[in-house]
Chain A
């Protein structure tokens, strides 16, 4: 199984993935990341430096603005904004925004129940919805209703031993000091533009950006919040280290490398197949096509241009946690 076919199996109805390379894994607690390097698609406006939250029009409706002079912006899937003392929102879908365009998303989810106030334009750090909420949020795209994700958030909080409320802030903000350490525990490598994420040995998600600069801007929201939340809850307790069965230093080095290789192969073998998944085009901008993937245990969205992959955010579809 080559690396390309490994990735191709994950991205249905096939954009060309030739040239993408999967690197050596990094593991921090329960979270393992395999970096992806590959072909770049320059000119896409990245979300932190180019995309701005323009305003919150009302609960469940936000406006984003592509402030770049040139270049289409790909709004990352499930991007959300948290601000002190204000109502916080996340989007249910990715999107394509032309340069200078302002667009309203009336199907946004409010992620903080029962607190007044709106987001303001300042202090715009963003997150990506935790893995456990992503399938539900994707299913809710196109549906209006600011409170539509509250029951799932509440159930997630309860599952994590927190107060059963529709406040994602209980995790994203109050556990921020622990979650943001994933940014240091797992390092973004030079030239990296994507990653495979595993929680435990279970495949969690595939994320690919148009270029390394774009990926660098989504790296922290992905590693700390999209996948870091589940990994934080699954953080293993440190055990007694097991010595290697070797007799000299050279043997120790060889055994260390062998175990690392075995670990990588084991992870790649655990990747699911997109067989059985369906894709549907959501929107297009010139030759860029945004597709949604559902079924076959996978969910998410990807952007292709002609037959080349430009952006992907695909994850193992967890059933929505039961609403309490």
Chain B
């Protein structure tokens, strides 16, 4: 299965997992997930961690990975799968994870990795005390499914009787938790009276997607540091102060990103409409240039075709033809979506390319002011895949979706996600 399809599915298919009382797990795209897992278990799960994947899809990936056998998976990949499942356990809203764990119980999945994952959630999740209060019977069900009912209750009874470190407890329980004292306390709570009326926490403790700084009023300078610095430069701010800062901010954005070896042609719209006016002046252009700078850092073989900078209006169709002439693996059109020259030209050129035997992937990337821009009149070629961005945080999800169109994209995505997994916050690592 192509990575680009996998990413598209993960970011668009939002139906929640269904778990009707007494019924089977309702999973409308189960076959899609099974096929993706069978083709490449490690790649499948890493792709689910790419920013922008919907929580409903991450829940499915968690269910698929924990329900399936890992027999035949290489040791190195097993380590990655363990890290990835743990990351999803701590990323998703706890109620969603509970649905997955109950589904695993319903499916009678009892692999070793399933047990470890369930017990990680119950024993190590920082929000477990609140969860135990809020959903105690459910957590007891999950706990007893993981350990076996007799063993689970045997452990609880021993703890209640004062056992702290017997061979039985160590072999059957304590080895699964990070902290023996915390493990004993949680099992005690699980089999305690509970606290009625406690709400379930609504968000996970370690989100995989960037935690976004969001101001109540969006301006041209609170959409990420790179774009903000560019806006000040365009306004005539001091170069000596702003240029070094721009370099620092850019390094922060690209830190840990592997180089993308593929040849990419960027068609950069730098026209009057990108500049904008009034309160939004420079907003779209600055974010588009921020993306261009990031691509230049990550892609050693990036070529740039600039359009709209001279005395002529933006010509997306002409820019695309110029870019294709360089023979790239991927063409990226970065624009506000206003075609300017003659509307319809880009769509006609795109419709003509297959007739010429040209199947170079072309992706339209629209720079926006906010995530709620009206884009009705800003889609010059509806046949093209379209990625929108307005904040610097969007790049974390946009780059994988762009590079997925290149031959090296799959490996790049996996390397980037592995790097992130290896640099997760303390307390979230296995």
Instruction: Write the residues of chain A forming the contact surface with B, with a CB cutoff of 8 angstroms.
Output: 24-29, 177-178, 181, 183-191, 238, 241-244, 246-249, 252-253, 256, 260, 263
Over the window 323-349 of chain B, the binary record of Cβ atoms lying under 8 Å from chain A Cβ atoms (1 yes, 0 no) is: 011000000000010111111110111
Known: A26-B341, A187-B338, A189-B313. 18 other contacts (CB 8 A): A24-B341, A26-B313, A181-B338, A185-B273, A185-B338, A185-B339, A185-B377, A187-B271, A187-B273, A187-B308, A187-B314, A187-B340, A188-B272, A241-B381, A243-B351, A244-B349, A249-B358, A256-B349
Residues of B within 8 A of A (CB-CB), count:
38
Tell which of A187, A238, A249 touches B325, judged by Cβ atoms closer than 8 Å: A249
B341 near A252 (CB under 8 angstroms)? no
What A residues does B314 contact at CB under 8 A? 187
CA distance A227 to B365 in the complex (A): 30
Tell which of A29, A181, A241, A260 touches B351, judged by Cβ atoms closer than 8 Å: A241
**Do A242 and B318 contact each other (CB < 8 Å), given the known contacts A181-B377, A187-B271, A248-B356?**
no
Between A184, A248, A252, A263, the greatest number of chain B beta carbons within 10 A of the residue's beta carbon is seen for: A184
What B residues does A246 contact at CB under 8 A? 352, 355-356
CA distance A190 to B272 in the complex (A): 9
Chain B 254-286 interface residues, beta-carbon cutoff 8 Å to A: 271-273, 276-277
Between A188, A189, A252, the greatest number of chain B beta carbons within 10 A of the residue's beta carbon is seen for: A252
What A residues does B377 contact at CB under 8 A? 28-29, 178, 181, 185
CA distance A28 to B337 in the complex (A): 12
What A residues does B339 contact at CB under 8 A? 28, 185
A244 near B348 (CB under 8 angstroms)? yes
B383 near A241 (CB under 8 angstroms)? yes
Tell which of B308, B311, B341, B348 touches A243, judged by Cβ atoms closer than 8 Å: B348
What A residues does B213 contact at CB under 8 A? none
A264 nearest in chain B by CB position: B342
Question: How many Å from the CB of B28 to the closest CB on chain A?
Answer: 31
What B residues does A249 contact at CB under 8 A? 321, 324-325, 356, 358
B311 near A252 (CB under 8 angstroms)? no
A183 near B318 (CB under 8 angstroms)? no
A187 near B272 (CB under 8 angstroms)? yes
A27 near B321 (CB under 8 angstroms)? no
A184 near B313 (CB under 8 angstroms)? no
A26 near B348 (CB under 8 angstroms)? no
B374 at interface, CB cutoff 8 A: yes
Tell which of A29, A183, A185, A241 touches B348, judged by Cβ atoms closer than 8 Å: A241
A187 near B356 (CB under 8 angstroms)? no
What B residues does A263 contact at CB under 8 A? 342
Specify the main secondary structure of chain A where it touches its partner: loop
14 A-B pairs (CB sep. < 8 Å): A24-B341, A26-B342, A27-B344, A183-B277, A184-B276, A184-B338, A185-B338, A185-B339, A187-B308, A188-B272, A244-B349, A244-B352, A249-B325, A260-B342
**Do A187 and B313 contact each other (CB < 8 Å), given the known contacts A241-B350, A249-B324?**
yes
CA distance A28 to B314 in the complex (A): 12
B154 at interface, CB cutoff 8 A: no
A189 near B312 (CB under 8 angstroms)? yes
Question: How many Å from the CB of B235 to the closest CB on chain A?
Answer: 19
**Do A29 and B343 contact each other (CB < 8 Å), given the known contacts A185-B377, A241-B351, A244-B352?**
yes
B351 near A185 (CB under 8 angstroms)? no
A252 near B356 (CB under 8 angstroms)? yes
What B residues does A248 contact at CB under 8 A? 356
Question: How many Å from the CB of A155 to the closest CB on chain B?
Answer: 27
Tell which of A28, A183, A238, A243 touches B355, judged by Cβ atoms closer than 8 Å: A243
Instruction: Write the residues of chain B forming the contact surface with A, with a CB cutoff of 8 angstroms.
Output: 271-273, 276-277, 308, 311-314, 317-318, 321, 324-325, 336, 338-345, 347-352, 355-356, 358, 374, 377, 381-383
A191 nearest in chain B by CB position: B311
Tell which of B277, B343, B382, B383 touches A28, judged by Cβ atoms closer than 8 Å: B343
Question: How many Å from the CB of B385 to the closest CB on chain A?
Answer: 16
What B residues does A24 contact at CB under 8 A? 312-313, 341
Between A177, A187, A191, A246, the greatest number of chain B beta carbons within 10 A of the residue's beta carbon is seen for: A187
B276 nearest in chain A by CB position: A184
Instruction: Please provide the 7 A-B residue pairs with the shortest distance between their CB atoms, ordered closest to farther.
Output: A241-B347, A184-B273, A187-B272, A243-B352, A241-B351, A243-B351, A187-B313
A188 nearest in chain B by CB position: B272
What A residues does B358 contact at CB under 8 A? 249
What A residues does B348 contact at CB under 8 A? 241-244, 256
What A residues does B273 contact at CB under 8 A? 183-185, 187
CA distance A254 to B381 in the complex (A): 20
B338 near A190 (CB under 8 angstroms)? no
What B residues does A244 contact at CB under 8 A? 348-349, 352
What A residues does B276 contact at CB under 8 A? 184
**Do A27 and B343 contact each other (CB < 8 Å), given the known contacts A184-B336, A241-B351?**
yes
CA distance A298 to B351 in the complex (A): 41
Between B272, B347, B352, the greatest number of chain A beta carbons within 10 A of the residue's beta carbon is seen for: B352
CA distance A26 to B272 in the complex (A): 13
CA distance A242 to B355 in the complex (A): 12
A186 near B351 (CB under 8 angstroms)? no
CA distance A244 to B355 in the complex (A): 9
What B residues does A25 contact at CB under 8 A? 342
Question: How many Å from the CB of A105 to the closest CB on chain B?
Answer: 28
Question: How many Å from the CB of A240 to the closest CB on chain B?
Answer: 8
What B residues does A241 contact at CB under 8 A? 344, 347-348, 350-351, 381, 383
What B residues does A183 contact at CB under 8 A? 273, 277
What B residues does A247 contact at CB under 8 A? 356
Question: How many Å from the CB of A185 to the closest CB on chain B?
Answer: 5
CA distance A238 to B321 in the complex (A): 23
B273 nearest in chain A by CB position: A184
CA distance A238 to B351 in the complex (A): 14
A28 nearest in chain B by CB position: B343
A220 nearest in chain B by CB position: B277
What B residues does A177 contact at CB under 8 A? 374
What A residues does B317 contact at CB under 8 A? 256
A190 near B336 (CB under 8 angstroms)? no
What A residues does B381 contact at CB under 8 A? 241
What A residues does B277 contact at CB under 8 A? 183
CA distance A61 to B277 in the complex (A): 32
